[in-house]
Every structure is written in structure tokens, then in C-alpha cells.
């Protein structure tokens, strides 16, 4: 039995993805540490800090498959240190004296922070690509259903008619903003760490800055303005942006979940033959993908307080913060990618039942159009007077289940001012979607490739 769902052979693909598990695997974690050490040796040899032959050997041997991770783990337990066992292992696999020149001028957190950033970069590439696919799906849905009339709801009640495309365009605009946030934060987040024991690069003297700049260029990472050993705001920003993105995904899933209820039956997540809803009720067509997305979105949001705690790091180094981040960064990325990828699947093959949407428009026998009637008579009676009059008729229609039109036409003031055909026009939901189509077009115009919109 696994201690956490991401590690479970049974449940891992519900809460993570193969790509994200690979990025944050032990093998990849150690490889990123080795990538740091190899890049450091390369630039230090070029700058004359260490011998070229040593750098060449370190680079040759900086391959995770050459190392026994179980042995390194045992040494980590014995030494209570993550990097010293690796440095000893590198020395062991390197020929000659090359191992004496590994890690020159660096400190453990330089390695682990930079390694984490390299993993985060790959994770964001994967997550970002899935968010783009989700954005593409919802834009296509919005375009396809630009004019599909559906009940607009507020406070869980029927409000006014909108279009399904309008509803989805709101999702598209929101996802577009998240895409921009994900892109904008990369410059602040994808910054390497190389600053020595307390951040001053004292061990390398006047060569420190040259090594730092060359190392970051070699790793294709931003060069830090100053050490960020205890400045964890960029990690916090990443957590918040991913949490916001997944919160939106969870909201979309919840909307689909709600509208899939039997009483509504307006939407349904993808269904395939063989998908089982219940072990006892053969008729059930449940929304398990949406349910899992909603659950994951709640889990992801709970990571934000941990990230805020991590910003409160102490002095020049704080392992408490690092241990906290070590627990939540990989988990956050795994959960986020799983939720977004599931949302891509759901929105890519979503069943939209426009016939049920049509039926639901008339569940309240015309009451959905009370605002249209009120605004029409507001021009004659004044808005407040019209509201009071229509309100009383609406309440009677609600309590008696008599069609709204019948009660309207039984009112002397209304009957004298409007014909039956004119009232039918007012009560037609197709005539009262306002500028829904315009706003859909506006969102879609800003959703061209390369432009995630406003």
C-alpha cells in the first residue's frame, strides 16, 4: 500500500501524470544536481578556476545511471545531508584527481535550489502546454455554441437567458489571463542559485561573479541579482499562480458537474462504453473526471499557505523552508498537471445537450423573461412602478404554477397596453440574450494563436 496517491500504482494517474512523475523522480532530481555540477566545472575550467582535465572528467561522469541511488540514500541517512553523499559518489566514479574539483566554491543549497528550478522549468513547459490545449478547447466550444441559448443562473436560480458560448467565453478569458501569468512569472522564477555558503561568493574571491554569470548562461537560467537562499517569494508566486489556474479548472469542472445533474442534463463529461457509474445501480452515468478535478483543485489550494510560510525564512539559510518546499513543490506540480490534463479531456469531448437547454428555458413557464417585461412597461409606467406590478404577478405565477403570460394578460393595465403576439415576443428567450454574441466574438478575437487574450 502506498503512503500517498501519487505513488500508488492504482491511483497515481488520477492525481498525477507520467510526465510529471518523471520530472520529479529521484533519478531526475539527482540528474539535475549532476547537471549543475557539470555546468559549474565546465565554466570554471574555461575561466581557469579548475583544471580542464578535471572538468572534462566530471562532465563525462555526470550521468545518473552511473550512480547507485540506494547507496546515496543510505549515506544521506547516515550523514543527514543531501549533497555530501553525492559529492563523495562523484569522486568515486571520476578517474584521477578530478573529483577533488567538483562543487568548487558552491554550497549545498546552490545545487538543490538550481536543480529544483531546472525541474520546475520542465514542469511548467508541460503544464503550460496543457493549459494552452485547454484554452484552445474552450475557445472552440465558445465559437461552436455562440448562439446556443441556455438558462443563465444566479444564486442557484433561473435568472435570464444567456448563450452557452457566452458562459464558456468567460472561462476562455480567465484561462487566457492564467496563460499570461504563467509566462510572466517565468522570468522571476527561472533564476539559478550560485552564491556560496551565505550568499557572498567569498570562496571564489574576485572570480565569483564571472563564474556565476557563466554558470547561469550555461544552464540557460536567469542570473540572480543577489542570493535568494532565504528569499522564497518566487516559489510562492509559482504556487499562487498554479493554484489560481487549477481553481479555475476546478470551477469549470464543478459547472459541468452541476449541469450534468439529472434534473438539468444540459452537459455531460465524455462517456465511453464500459464506463461504470455504480457497483449496484447499472443506470448511473457519473462524472468521475469532473469529481476528481474538483477534489484536486481543493488539494492544490491548500498548498498556498505552505508556500506563504516558506517565505518567512530565517537568517541566511533555513533548512526548515527547504524541507517544506521539498514536500510540496513536486506534489503541487503533479496535482496541477493531472487536473489540467483531465480538463483538456473533458472539454475536448464535452456533450452539450442543446435540446435540454431549450426545455429548461421554459421550466418556469415564462418567468425567466420577467426583466424583459418589466423593462418594456417601465417605459410606460416608470421602472419602479413596473417592477412592483410585475413582481406581484411573478409571485402569483410562482405560487400557483399558472403560466406567466396568462397572469400578465389577466391584468387590465397590461392587457390594454400590449397584444398577445407582442407579449409572445417579449417572452421569447431568443430575443433577450443582449450582447452575449458580441462578447463571445470579442474574447475569441483575442484568442488567436500566440495571444491568450485579455
Active-site annotation, residues: 155, 278
Alpha carbon of 128 to those of 115, 131, 182, 237, 345: distances in Å?
Answer: 20, 5, 7, 16, 15
80: left (phi over 0), alpha (psi -120 to 50) or beta: left
Alpha carbon of 81 to those of 73, 107, 276, 311: distances in Å?
Answer: 10, 12, 48, 23
Helix/strand/coil for 274:
coil
Cα 108 from Cα 102, distance rounded (Å): 12
Contact 13, 20 (CB under 8 A): no
CA 86 to chain centre: 34
Contact 55, 42 (CB under 8 A): yes
Contact 79, 96 (CB under 8 A): no
Residue-wise DSSP of 75-91:
HHHHHT-SSHHHHHHHH
Helix/strand/coil for 156:
coil
Residue-wise DSSP of 216-227:
HHHHT-BPPSS-
Contact 165, 145 (CB under 8 A): yes
Amino acid at each position: 500500500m502506498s503512503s500517498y496517491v501519487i505513488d500508488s500504482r492504482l491511483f497515481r494517474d488520477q492525481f498525477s501524470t507520467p510526465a510529471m512523475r518523471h520530472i520529479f523522480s529521484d533519478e531526475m532530481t539527482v540528474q539535475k544536481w549532476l547537471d549543475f555540477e557539470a555546468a559549474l566545472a565546465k565554466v570554471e575550467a574555461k575561466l581557469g578556476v579548475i583544471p580542464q582535465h578535471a572538468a572534462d572528467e566530471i562532465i563525462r561522469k555526470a550521468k545518473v545511471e552511473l550512480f547507485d541511488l540506494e547507496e546515496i540514500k543510505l549515506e544521506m541517512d547516515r550523514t543527514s545531508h543531501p549533497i555530501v553523499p553525492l559529492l563523495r559518489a562523484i569522486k568515486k566514479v571520476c578517474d584521477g584527481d578530478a573529483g577533488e574539483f567538483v562543487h568548487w566554491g558552491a554550497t549545498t543549497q546552490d545545487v538543490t535550489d538550481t536543480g529544483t528550478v531546472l525541474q520546475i522549468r520542465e514542469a511548467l513547459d508541460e503544464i503550460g502546454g496543457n493549459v494552452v490545449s485547454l484554452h484552445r478547447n474552450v475557445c472552440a466550444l465558445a465559437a461552436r455554441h455562440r448562439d446556443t441559448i441556455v438558462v443563465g443562473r444566479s444564486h442557484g436560480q433561473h435568472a435570464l437567458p444567456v448563450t452557452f458560448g457566452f458562459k464558456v467565453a468567460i472561462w476562455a478569458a480567465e484561462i487566457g489571463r492564467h496563460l499570461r501569468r504563467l509566462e510572466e512569472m517565468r522570468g522571476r522564477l527561472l533564476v539559478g542559485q550560485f552564491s556560496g555558503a551565505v550568499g557572498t561568493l567569498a570562496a571564489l574571491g574576485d572570480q565569483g561573479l564571472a563564474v556565476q554569470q557563466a554558470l547561469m548562461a550555461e544552464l540557460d537560467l536567469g542570473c540572480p541579482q543577489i542570493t535568494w537562499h532565504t528569499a522564497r517569494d518566487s516559489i510562492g508566486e509559482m504556487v499562487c499562480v498554479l493554484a489560481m489556474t487549477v481553481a479555475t479548472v476546478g470551477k469549470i469542472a464543478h459547472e459541468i458537474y452541476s449541469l450534468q445533474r439529472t434534473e438539468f442534463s444540459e452537459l455531460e463529461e465524455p462517456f465511453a462504453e464500459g464506463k461504470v457509474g455504480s457497483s449496484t445501480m447499472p443506470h448511473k452515468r457519473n462524472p468521475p473526471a469532473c469529481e476528481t478535478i474538483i477534489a484536486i483543485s481543493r488539494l492544490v489550494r491548500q498548498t498556498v499557505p505552505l508556500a506563504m510560510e516558506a517565505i518567512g525564512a530565517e537568517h541566511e539559510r533555513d533548512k526548515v523552508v527547504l524541507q517544506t518546499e521539498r514536500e510540496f513543490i513536486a506534489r503541487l506540480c503533479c496535482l496541477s498537471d493531472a487536473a489540467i490534463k483531465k480538463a483538456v479531456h473533458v472539454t475536448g469531448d464535452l456533450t452539450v445537450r442543446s435540446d435540454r437547454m431549450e426545455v429548461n428555458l421554459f421550466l418556469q413557464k415564462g418567468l425567466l423573461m420577467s426583466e424583459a417585461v418589466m423593462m418594456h412597461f417601465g417605459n410606460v409606467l416608470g421602472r419602479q412602478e413596473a417592477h412592483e406590478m410585475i413582481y406581484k404577478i411573478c409571485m402569483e405565477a410562482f405560487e400557483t404554477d399558472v403560466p406567466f403570460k396568462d397572469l400578465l394578460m389577466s391584468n387590465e393595465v397590461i392587457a390594454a397596453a400590449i397584444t398577445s403576439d407582442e407579449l409572445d415576443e417579449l417572452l421569447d428567450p431568443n430575443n433577450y440574450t443582449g450582447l452575449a454574441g458580441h462578447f463571445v466574438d470579442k474574447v475569441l478575437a483575442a484568442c488567436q494563436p500566440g495571444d491568450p487574450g485579455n
